[in-house]
Structure 1
Amino acid sequence: MPIALKPGSLKDPEIAALFRTEDPESYFADLREIGHGSFGAVYFKWNDIVKEVKFLKNLRHENIVEFKACFLKDHTCWLVMEYCVGSASDILEVHKKPLREQEISAICQQVLHGLRYLHSLGRIHRDVKAGNILLTDSGVVKLADFGSASLVCPAQSFVGTPYWMAPEVILAMDEGRYNDRADVWSLGITCIELAEKKPPFFNMNAMSALYHIAQNDSPSLPVGSWSSDFHDFVDQCLIKDPALRFSTETCLLHPFISSARPTSILFDLIQRTKLLVRDLDHFQYRKLRKLMYLDEQQSGSSAEVSSLDSEDIDSVDDDLCAESASSRSDSYTSTQSLCGAMRSSITSVSSLKKAQRSLVPIVPLADDSTTSPLSRTPPPSGSVDTDTDTDVTPPRPSLTPTAKTASMEMNHEQQQQQQQQQQQQQQQQQQEQQQPSIVGPRRRKEEILAWRRSRFATIRPTVTIAREQTEYAAENNMHEQMSGYKRMRREHQKELKQLEEKFNSEMDNLKMKLDREYENLLLQFHKEMDKLHVTHRQELDKRLKTNEELERKLRKAIVQQQEVEMKALQMQLKKEYKVNKERLKQELKMENSSKSFVEGNLKTSKQNHLHVQAEAENRLIADHKFYLDFEIRKLKRRRLLHYHQLEQDLIREELGVRGRQLQSAHTLLRRHHELTRDLEMRQLNSLQNLRCQHLQKQHASELQNQQAYMKRVQDELRKKHAMQVKQQPKELKQKELQIRRQFRQAVKTQTRQYKLLQLQLTQDLPKDEQREVVARLKDEQKRKLALLAEQYEGSIGEMMEKQTVQLETWQEEEARQTKDKLNEELELLMAFQSKQRMQMDQHHEREKGRLNEKVSLRLAVLENKMDDEVTQFERERQDRLNQLQTRQNQELDVFDQASIHLGFSLIALSASSSSTSTASGSSSSATAVANKPGVINSASIQDAIHQQPTTDNSFQAVTAHHHHQHLSSSSSSSMHISVITSKRIEWQLIFLNLKNNDMNNWKKIIEKKSIRYK
């Protein structure tokens, strides 16, 4: 049996088909990092890589970034995607102002087409934002970054970027699943981002934003120059209830999306952005050159080449590249990279100053010397505009700005321009004549790389890419915090899923066990009924055999008795013949008849006697045959009634067993219901307890994260204040020097004024008076200068005091405001957690109520089913009894009709059967009848063999009914056909004169002769 492969194993042909094994470096050149997500370049789990590659490989749409290939080299996965020029957030960052309404509408329309395609496949993007909306050169909008996408809809994972998350995604762990309407919410937030340059709540901590989104009302577009259609579209996309929120189909029909607009609006936007990016890069480059030139002038060094890293670039001109909302979006799933962090090739200023003694200006080529893996995010997320048409004056080497370095070359002539300008120019010319063999190949390679890069120009400034790297290093703590929070939520969800799977397994096992028990019980019932049926069939067969045996014995007994009676009759007739013969002889002898006459009379008497004897024997034989048939018929009828009674008893026994089985099955079902209910209650309690534990851990983690965030903010504020306090003496010194410069300037101005006044006053005075005026003016000047010095000293002291007080007041106010804000966020978190606990308690109560309702409904259904089964059983029982009674009545009617057809009286048969049945209850009467001479009592024989009294009411009713009919037609309550043997000739003659079918006459003659005999 083949061994099952692990999920995601490369030995699986389906997984291996997703990756190409060729070396990607043989296919691609100029490999460099063109974008940096909020998580930087970190490794995915292998299964997540396989999942995303499978996801991307099956997507084909105009508005979704196209998957090109996936390479697997060593332990690195290279994901090759369609190239775009940048994202919507890059456009916001470049223009420093919101987009126009028509541009937002055009972008949203194409985004909705892509989302509609995704939703039609049953998938969710879950991270729609401006940073993941890419644009091509021709103005086509494409959705990218499917690292957070869900392969199923609805989903339950805590995935996405906090500021763009829908409320149901944030509360997915608490309130259940969410569907594709979460992407519509993110699109509404993206509209606000494109209209306001940042999403709602972006000025607060990401954790706090989650609580605000989940607890507060839906954000809306601020009132301004936006149209009512735009406001309505955003409001419809940001409805908190997902069921009431617009779908992608409905959004495409909204007037804001379907309104007419120029077809080239996005193409024009891309072109304007490209021009602006080129200007920004050139301006930044010229400013850096100026700074480098001033630094080298101050240092007085010659022939030095400096390089500035991205941090120096940002420190020089922070106002040029403001922060973009999506570039700092803190996406905790979607922007993780498949490859390792990009190795930086930026050379710091301090390290370059040690190497500035080189006479040959070498440009560090980051793209040539350092090759980094491809980013997992599509290339459009950011690229470097590598336009090489810059204003570089020879003989300075040209500067090529890249995403990693900003290099500058200064020639040897400008570094010594103050003392030996001409000599250095000659040296520079000599160096330039010697350099082509060294620098020429490098410059040509640089030009080739620049030409390659020019084909992949993007709309992202150079500083943006460098700043993203430094921001990631600075904000890594927050990312780790959010990553840990998300990991905890995933672990909680995994534990809940595992517990639910365990509960499902337990419930399935219990159901299998209960079903097996119930099936075994039914099988046992079936075996018991089969055994009972076999026993009943054996009893019925035994009864049939007993009936045959009784009939045989009765026939034998009657035949024996009739033979005895025949012999007795023959003996009696023979005796009577002898007596009559002697009497006749005596009479003839007394009459003295002749011998011949006597002999003739004797012969005649003998002939008469033989004739009478033959006739009597024939009659007796006929009566014996009639009696035998009558008794056998009567026995058969009686045994038929007993057989019917046995059938009734057996079917009652069978129905009683079935009733007990049904009751046992119902008892078992009730016990199964109780076991299932108890298990469901235990499982629900365990699940709710686990949820409560998870919520407590989540709240503790949230509080810990919030407290860490508060501590971090307070520490940063204290550091900021400490830095301000530390820098305050320097600032005060600078202001003091500025005031003293103003004082010296005032002194100089006043001195000049006094000199002019002295010259004006002493112009027409004699020398003696001039001395006095000059002395007086000098004293006045000294006095005023002293007052001015005192005034400036006071101004300095007042300024220092005021600045100190202002700083302390401002710091205290800032600390108070920060503390209030942090406390407000903490209170909001506590309120949100309290609301979550209350909602969880309510949810648990609803779950318990639903479970109780489910259990009650299931019990009611079970009881109803059992009642139906009982009703059906009673109906079946009654039907079977009625069918049996009908069949038995039909059998009895058929038997009676056959008896009538044979010439037997139904009254006699019924009466005999009834009286025999009645007589069978009393042993003394049965014995008395049996002891009568000459009477064959078949009832005594029957009761002696089988003594089972009739107990069934229904059959008693049938017997009573027939008995009543027979009684109504005859006055006699019982009738026994018997042959009475008597020594008196009258009884014999009476018997011989009877006819077989004249029963009434026979009864009357018997009664008359009995009275006479008495």
Structure 2
Amino acid sequence: MPLPTRVSQIRDPDVASLFSEEDPEKLFSELQEIGHGSFGAVYFARNTKTGEGVAIKKMSYNGKASTEKWQDIIKEVKFLRQVKHKNCIQYKGCYLREHTAWLAMEYCIGSASDILEVQKKPLQEDEIAAICDDALQGLEYLHSNDRIHRDVKAGNILLEDNGTVKLADFGSASLVSPANSFVGTPYWMAPEVILAMDEGQYDGKVDIWSLGITCIEFAERKPPLFNMNAMSALYHIAQNNPPTLTTHTDWSEAFLSFVNACLAKDPIHRPSATDLLQHEFLTRDRSNNCIRDLIERTKKIAKDQDNQSIKRVKKMLISNQEEPSEDLQQDESNDDSVFRRNDTNSVESQHSNETMSNAGSINSLQGGAEGGSVVNGKGRDVRRPIQRPSLPSLRDRGVSPAPSLDSMLSISSIGSLSLGGISFGSPYNSYSSVSSAMRVNFRDRPNQVSLTSFVHRPSPLWWQLVHPQFSSETSSISSSITEPETPTSLHRAQNSRSDSNRENFRTIRPTSLVTREAKEHESVLKEQMTGYKRMRRQHQKQILQLEDQLSSEMEDLKRKLDKEYDVCVQTNAKDLEKLLQKHQWESEKKNKQDLVEEKRERKTQAQANDAEMKVFQSKQKKDYKHHRDQKKKEVESYNRRDQEEHLRNHKETLVQQQSRDEQALVKKQKEKVERELRKLKGRLLLDRHAKQQDQIREEIRKRRDAKEMEQYMALRHHDQIRAMELSHMEQIQALRTEQMEKQFSTELTNQEEYNRKSNNELAKKHALETKQHPKNLKAKEQSIKKQLRETLKVQEKQYKLLASQILSNASRDQSREQQKSILKRLKEEQHRKMAILAEEYRHRAQEMLQTQSLKLTESQERECTDLSENLKKEMELLNDYQAKTRLQLQSQHDREQAELQERIDLRRKKLEERIDQDTKQLIQMKETTIHNFLEKQKEEVAAFDEETARLGIKNLSIEEIRSQSYGNTSRPQSMVIVSSSDVDGSIMMSRFSRSESSTSAPNFSDI
């Protein structure tokens, strides 16, 4: 997706709220470059609405890694919007224009690094304490809000006119703490930052380390290891002891203690910002105006240096004198060698405290890649084709060119000078020539003061002293260079007033610093460092992406397994519910069947009783008839009355007897019916108990099977998660190993490139020295010749004087031949002495040649040896660092594997404990269910026996019914008959278990 060029194109409302919709080209005017870095350039500008001076940081997010740059811009803007503290730089707004973010902040006059740049000497302890006090207050605020600056150094500690110290440059800051990104400036990095991606995370203690390095920078004008390659410095910091103050033995114990506390290698032993604010070094008495006094002294020194530069340039412009061509060529060649050295070593041009001499001196400037006129090493004017903007010439604008400026092509405090190849002497100079020359990317070198810096600088200019009209025009040119895009910006630049600029734009930055910074970020070695940081960040990004991907895979697997487990649990619950419903239905069906069976038994008994009653009544009729006939025979002898009386009595007796017999039969039948029904109910109760036992057994078996299935699935899921965790660990560690090898390869390549460039640079230096050696020898030889000529002249004068004296003193009687003979002897003596002088000259010349050649050879050999030893030490340091890093990574991998295995074992142990607990709960539930079931059956059996006894039915207990109905061997083995004597539930449980085992059903104890 293309990145936005204006705020209206941002779809995310949260991101869009970070930027203002105003056009920065119209909102800000008088843009003047005041700094440069890898991100872009920093400008001083004025808000046209409020008239307030601000610092604008232009950050392009186009081209390579544009998305990453855009995210960095968003992060920095978010950070600045959240920071509100008197010791942190104030946020003014952020604007978008054509893939460039304009980040506006409050303007400060300079940094602590600028003070060191101008002062050329270390700061005093009170000044260091005052700066550290304010800086620590800002760091305390950041750390209390879980923020990390991660790039604390003198260059990022800004100063205001009133002496307030402010932390700036939050491009490397972290919004969270702890963090593990590889960011910062190499020499100021804490060990845990360098090893963050290998050993873990870090917190705000890294800023304390950087502050300690900054204190050494204040005390020694440079951080430790600054003479070392930046990559080698990283390896040194990561594995060696913390640095200490190496110079100036008069530092107080409090200051030494403060620095040592800040530079504790173990972050645990390093104090926090709050603790350091209570340190003796910061709490002791000091002047409240020490920073303001320091700023005033720095301003005075900078002003004096500018005045000296103005006087020197004015003198050079007016004198219009040229150096001899031979010396010019020699000096230009020397300058070219300096250019070549600084071009290959531009990353070390940060050593401004060591390399920069008088800020007012002006050295040679060479044109860059854009073209223009430059002076080559032989003093010739080499023209390069350039594209000139269509602008009116100076003559068309009514500006008279400066007189006799051809000398600008070769003027220098140490030799020759070419100001970007600008031909000021021609009366037809135009804006295009001046503008194109100013747009040339000058080579970075110490002590240089570029014309662009002078034109951009709003303070009194050397050119204003020489030609005020041209000064005003060059001010317009500088604005047009800064803002070439729109006619509006050019119109504003043409109408700007230098007096207003001088009044509102105050700085302590040296005039050569901006040009040097603009060139530094183009250095090959700095590009290597930037690429190395980018690679480390890319590696971290790849690790995070892989971790997110693997985490997503793990979440998907866990979600899938949880769903599978939930489905299994729900299925088992549904099956159990169906089984319970089935048991309920079977119980209801059994109850209905029992009622039907009882009705059938009643009906059967009633039918049997009726049949028996009919037979009994038929028998009674027969007996009655038989007894009646027999009685009649017995009373035949009686009279009729007695006969009838006896028969009537006999009938009544028979009827009564039959009635009693019938009642006895009915009672017997009733008792029989009751007994049979009671026996039937007992059998039905036993059958129901047996069925309930089967149901309980089936339910418990179902619960056991479901629990076993869930436990098996949980173990299987554990194994799947374990396999994926091991696979993920293997992938992450493989990626780390691959990245480490790639990082090592890059480090070796960078070191080899650095070694090659160092050797090439030394070889070029030696070649130039060898090339210049004959010229130096020739100059010395010419000096000897000059001495010889002077001696010969003296001798010639002495000879002439002696000859004239001899001739004047000669007697007149000497002949002319005698005089000629005397003169001849004098001539021969003169020739002899001249020969002796010539021989002495030859010996002196040979001796000088041998001595100088020997010195040159010894010096070059010594330099080669020193360089070889230094490069060898750096390579050994790199190899040691890589070996240590490899061991640390392997140790980290072993530790991670052990921790993962420990987590897996702990999770397995917890799972097994849960399984054991579930098994115990299941057994307890089984025992409780069986116990309750048996207790219920015992209660039902006891109630049945009590009811039987209440009904008066004897010998019809449940045990007797079981014996009568099934016998001891033929009863169903699944039945458990609970008698009143079976009080112990364990006996019933053992019977229950034995009955289960006898029917090939799993025991409750197996669950």
**TM-score tier after normalising by the smaller chain length:** 0.7 to 0.9
Per the alignment, residue 179 of structure 2 pairs with 155
Per the alignment, residue 683 of structure 2 pairs with 638
2 CA distance for matches of 1:93 and 1:532? 91
Aligned partner of residue 147 in structure 1, secondary structure? coil
Kindly indicate whether residue 298 of structure 2 is the aligned counterpart of residue 251 of structure 1: no
Cα 1:617–1:701 change in 2 (3 A) is same
Specify which of 607, 630, 639 is matched with residue 594 of structure 1: 639
Per the alignment, residue 894 of structure 2 pairs with 845
Per the alignment, residue 484 of structure 1 pairs with 531
Per the alignment, residue 419 of structure 1 pairs with none
**CA deviation after TM superposition for structure 1 residue 385, in Å:** 6.3
Residues 463, 471 of structure 2: 8 Å contact kept: no
**CA deviation after TM superposition for structure 1 residue 950, in Å:** 4.7
Kindly indicate whether residue 616 of structure 2 is the aligned counterpart of residue 569 of structure 1: yes
Per-residue Cα deviation, 1:3-29 (whole angstroms, up to 9, x for no partner): x99999524444333333434344433
896-905 or 174-183, larger mean C-alpha shift: 896-905
Residues 91, 106 of structure 2: 8 Å contact kept: yes
Per the alignment, residue 271 of structure 1 pairs with 296
Kindly indicate whether residue 634 of structure 2 is the aligned counterpart of residue 611 of structure 1: no
Specify which of 536, 551, 554 is matched with residue 601 of structure 2: 554
2 CA distance for matches of 1:195 and 1:395? 43
Aligned partner of residue 201 in structure 1, secondary structure? coil
Specify which of 208, 226, 239 is matched with residue 264 of structure 2: 239
Show the 5 A alignment for 1:871-950.
871-905=920-954, 907-910=955-958, 912-919=960-967, 949-950=972-973
Aligned partner of residue 80 in structure 1, secondary structure? strand
Per-residue Cα deviation, 1:507-546 (whole angstroms, up to 9, x for no partner): 0111111111111111211121122112211221222122
1 CA distance for matches of 2:10 and 2:74? 10
1 CA distance for matches of 2:764 and 2:440? 39
Cα 1:910–1:55 change in 2 (3 A) is closer
Cα 1:581–1:239 change in 2 (3 A) is same
Per-residue Cα deviation, 1:935-991 (whole angstroms, up to 9, x for no partner): xxxxxxxxxxxxx725345x35657789xxxxxxxxxxxxxxxxxxxxxxxxxxxxx
909-918 or 64-73, larger mean C-alpha shift: 909-918
Per the alignment, residue 312 of structure 2 pairs with 287
Cα 1:275–1:741 change in 2 (3 A) is same
User: Which structure has the larger Rg?
Assistant: 1
Amino acid at match of 2:60: Y
280-289 or 210-219, larger mean C-alpha shift: 280-289
Kindly indicate whether residue 133 of structure 2 is the aligned counterpart of residue 109 of structure 1: yes
Aligned partner of residue 873 in structure 2, secondary structure? helix
Specify which of 666, 683, 699 is matched with residue 654 of structure 1: 699
1 CA distance for matches of 2:782 and 2:745? 54
Aligned partner of residue 458 in structure 1, secondary structure? coil
1 CA distance for matches of 2:832 and 2:529? 69
Per the alignment, residue 37 of structure 2 pairs with 37
Residues 156, 172 of structure 1: 8 Å contact kept: yes
Show the 5 A alignment for 1:695-844.
695-748=740-793, 782-844=831-893
**CA deviation after TM superposition for structure 1 residue 347, in Å:** 8.4
2 CA distance for matches of 1:861 and 1:742? 102
Kindly indicate whether residue 665 of structure 2 is the aligned counterpart of residue 620 of structure 1: yes
**CA deviation after TM superposition for structure 1 residue 273, in Å:** 0.2
Residues 403, 462 of structure 1: 8 Å contact kept: no
Per the alignment, residue 237 of structure 2 pairs with 213
Show the 5 A alignment for 1:373-384.
none
Per-residue Cα deviation, 1:378-402 (whole angstroms, up to 9, x for no partner): xxxx997644398998899897999
Per the alignment, residue 989 of structure 1 pairs with none
**CA deviation after TM superposition for structure 1 residue 368, in Å:** 15
Cα 1:617–1:166 change in 2 (3 A) is same
Kindly indicate whether residue 586 of structure 2 is the aligned counterpart of residue 539 of structure 1: yes
Per-residue Cα deviation, 1:730-749 (whole angstroms, up to 9, x for no partner): 01101111222233344455
Aligned partner of residue 81 in structure 1, secondary structure? strand
2 CA distance for matches of 1:649 and 1:24? 89
Q: TM-score, normalised by structure 1?
A: 0.77
Per the alignment, residue 526 of structure 1 pairs with 573
Residues 197, 325 of structure 1: 8 Å contact kept: no
Unaligned runs of 5+ in 2: 42-58, 62-68, 326-331, 343-347, 356-367, 375-407, 410-419, 442-452, 479-490, 985-1007
Amino acid at match of 1:213: I
Aligned partner of residue 172 in structure 2, secondary structure? coil
Cα 1:507–1:75 change in 2 (3 A) is closer
Residues 30, 371 of structure 1: 8 Å contact kept: no
Aligned partner of residue 156 in structure 1, secondary structure? coil
Residues 198, 324 of structure 1: 8 Å contact kept: no
2 CA distance for matches of 1:776 and 1:664? 136
Per the alignment, residue 17 of structure 1 pairs with 17
Residues 60, 100 of structure 2: 8 Å contact kept: no
Aligned partner of residue 30 in structure 1, secondary structure? strand
1 CA distance for matches of 2:438 and 2:106? 25
Per the alignment, residue 339 of structure 1 pairs with none
Aligned partner of residue 19 in structure 2, secondary structure? coil
Q: What CA RMSD, in Å, does the superposition of the two structures yield over aligned residues?
A: 3.9
Aligned partner of residue 124 in structure 1, secondary structure? coil
Residues 644, 888 of structure 1: 8 Å contact kept: yes
Kindly indicate whether residue 297 of structure 2 is the aligned counterpart of residue 262 of structure 1: no
1 CA distance for matches of 2:597 and 2:663? 28
Cα 1:563–1:5 change in 2 (3 A) is farther
Kindly indicate whether residue 460 of structure 2 is the aligned counterpart of residue 388 of structure 1: yes
2 CA distance for matches of 1:541 and 1:520? 31
Per-residue Cα deviation, 1:273-302 (whole angstroms, up to 9, x for no partner): 0000000111122223334445546699xx
Amino acid at match of 2:628: K
2 CA distance for matches of 1:63 and 1:504? 41
Cα 1:668–1:187 change in 2 (3 A) is same
Identity %: 41
Amino acid at match of 1:916: Q
2 CA distance for matches of 1:298 and 1:704? 45
Q: TM-score, normalised by structure 2?
A: 0.78
2 CA distance for matches of 1:601 and 1:396? 182
1 CA distance for matches of 2:436 and 2:109? 19
Specify which of 708, 711, 714 is matched with residue 666 of structure 1: 711
Per the alignment, residue 411 of structure 1 pairs with none
**CA deviation after TM superposition for structure 1 residue 801, in Å:** 1.4
Aligned partner of residue 69 in structure 1, secondary structure? strand
2 CA distance for matches of 1:771 and 1:506? 119
Cα 1:842–1:815 change in 2 (3 A) is same
Show the 5 A alignment for 1:323-402.
325=351, 354-358=423-427, 386-388=458-460
Residues 170, 210 of structure 1: 8 Å contact kept: yes
Cα 1:123–1:886 change in 2 (3 A) is same
Residues 118, 125 of structure 1: 8 Å contact kept: yes
1 CA distance for matches of 2:569 and 2:292? 77
73-82 or 165-174, larger mean C-alpha shift: 73-82
Amino acid at match of 1:740: K
Residues 86, 459 of structure 1: 8 Å contact kept: yes
1 CA distance for matches of 2:747 and 2:161? 44
**Number of aligned pairs?**
856
Per-residue Cα deviation, 1:671-690 (whole angstroms, up to 9, x for no partner): 11111111111111111111
**CA deviation after TM superposition for structure 1 residue 870, in Å:** 0.2
Amino acid at match of 2:642: F
**CA deviation after TM superposition for structure 1 residue 633, in Å:** 2.2
Aligned partner of residue 793 in structure 1, secondary structure? helix
Per the alignment, residue 968 of structure 1 pairs with none
Show the 5 A alignment for 1:42-61.
43-44=60-61, 45-61=69-85
Cα 1:398–1:842 change in 2 (3 A) is same
